[in-house]
Amino acid sequence: MTFFIQLLLLTGRTSSVPAVTPWYQGLDCEKRQERCLGTNLWCDERWSSEGYESVQKCVEDRKPPMQWLFPRGDCPFPIEACLGTDEVCGRESDLPKRLSCFEQRYKAPWSEPKSEGCLTDIRSLDERCRGTQAWCESTDSSWRYESVKDNCLAGLAFGEACLGTDEFCTIMSEGSKNETFKCLATRSRPWFFHPHPLVCAAERSSKDERCIGTLAHCESEQLRQTYDSVDDCVKARRGAEYSLLLPWHYKTEGCNSDREDCVGTDMICSRLELRQKSACVEAREVPPFLVWLSETCPDRPGIPGRRLMAKDSEYCLGTAKWCASQFRISYDTEKSCRHHRSIKHFLPESKTPSRWILAKRPLSQWHECPENPELCMGTEEFCGQLIDPDRILSCLEARELSPFFDMDSPRCHAVDGSNDWEACRGTQAWCRDPDNLSRLYNGSEHICLKLRNRSQGGGPYPWQYGGSSGCEAEDRDEHCVGTERMCSRARNATDCLAERKEPLFLLSDPTDCFGAKNQLEPCVGTDAWCLGELLRDSNITTEECFSRRGFRRKGMREEMMTRFKYPVKELILKYGGNLAMNAAYWDLLVKQSDNATAMTAVVRELEGYMDGLWTILTTFVVPDVMNRVERLMIVGQKEEADRK
Helical (H) or strand (E) element with 115: none
CB 150 within 8 A of CB 131: no
Q: Judge if 74 and 211 occupy the same domain.
A: no
Residues of the chain with pLDDT under 50: 1-19, 28-29, 147-150, 154-158, 197-205, 242, 300-309, 413-415
- The pLDDT score that the predictor gives to residue 641 is 63
Rounded CA gap, 162 and 530, in Å? 76
Rounded CA gap, 365 and 362, in Å? 6
- The pLDDT score that the predictor gives to residue 186 is 78
Q: Judge if 100 and 116 occupy the same domain.
A: yes
Residue 312, domain member (yes or no)? yes
3-state helix, strand, coil in the chain (%, to 5): 55, 5, 40
Give the pairing type, strands 303-307 and 299-300.
antiparallel
Domain edge (last residue) among 342, 361, 382: 342
Domain that holds residue 296: 260-342
Rounded CA gap, 350 and 444, in Å? 28
Q: Number of helices (H) and strands (E), helices first, in the chain?
A: 37, 4
- The pLDDT score that the predictor gives to residue 306 is 47
- The pLDDT score that the predictor gives to residue 401 is 92
b/e for 498-522, b at 16 or more Cβ within 10 A?
Answer: ebbeebbbbebeeebeeebbeebbb
Largest CA distance in the chain: 158
Q: Judge if 14 and 125 occupy the same domain.
A: yes
Q: Judge if 523 and 586 occupy the same domain.
A: no
Please name which of 570, 576, 567, 557 lies closest in space to residue 622, comparing C-alpha atoms. Answer: 557
- The pLDDT score that the predictor gives to residue 518 is 76
Q: Judge if 58 and 155 occupy the same domain.
A: yes
Rounded CA gap, 71 and 88, in Å? 10
CB 54 within 8 A of CB 47: yes
CB 441 within 8 A of CB 386: no
Helix axes 177-185, 165-172, angle to 10 degrees: 140
Three-state secondary structure of 506-548? CCCCHHHCCHHHCCCHHHHHHHHHHHHHHHHCCCCCHHHHHHH
Q: Judge if 526 and 576 occupy the same domain.
A: no
φ and ψ of 169, to 5 deg: -65, -35
**Total domain count for the chain?**
6
Name 354's bridge partners.
Answer: 399
Burial of 231 (0-12, 13-18, 19+ CB in 10 A): exposed
What are the tens digits of pLDDT across the range 374-401?
888 889 989 998 999 999 999 999 999 9
Please name which of 417, 293, 441 lies closest in space to residue 359, comparing C-alpha atoms. Answer: 417
Please name which of 438, 398, 402, 399 lies closest in space to residue 422, comparing C-alpha atoms. Answer: 402
Amino acid (one-letter) located at 82: C
Residue 465, domain member (yes or no)? no
Residue 240, domain member (yes or no)? no
> What are the residues whose beta carbons fall under 8 Å from the beta carbon of 627, sequence distance 6 or more?
none
The three-state secondary structure class of 305 is strand
Domain edge (last residue) among 161, 180, 208: 161
- The pLDDT score that the predictor gives to residue 203 is 41
- The pLDDT score that the predictor gives to residue 582 is 82
Residue 622, domain member (yes or no)? yes
Helical (H) or strand (E) element with 402: strand 402-404
Rounded CA gap, 224 and 289, in Å? 36
Residue 315, domain member (yes or no)? yes
Q: Judge if 215 and 68 occupy the same domain.
A: no
Helical (H) or strand (E) element with 556: helix 553-585
Domain edge (last residue) among 281, 308, 342: 342
Distances (CA, A) of 83 to 14, 324, 600: 20, 64, 129
Residue 278, domain member (yes or no)? yes
The three-state secondary structure class of 469 is coil
Rounded CA gap, 337 and 334, in Å? 5
Residue 471, domain member (yes or no)? no
Q: Judge if 169 and 227 occupy the same domain.
A: yes
Q: Judge if 11 and 115 occupy the same domain.
A: yes
Q: Judge if 68 and 128 occupy the same domain.
A: yes
Give the pairing type, strands 402-404 and 303-307.
unpaired
- The pLDDT score that the predictor gives to residue 140 is 59
Q: Judge if 155 and 176 occupy the same domain.
A: no
Residue 629, domain member (yes or no)? yes
Helical (H) or strand (E) element with 611: helix 595-616
Q: Judge if 576 and 442 occupy the same domain.
A: no
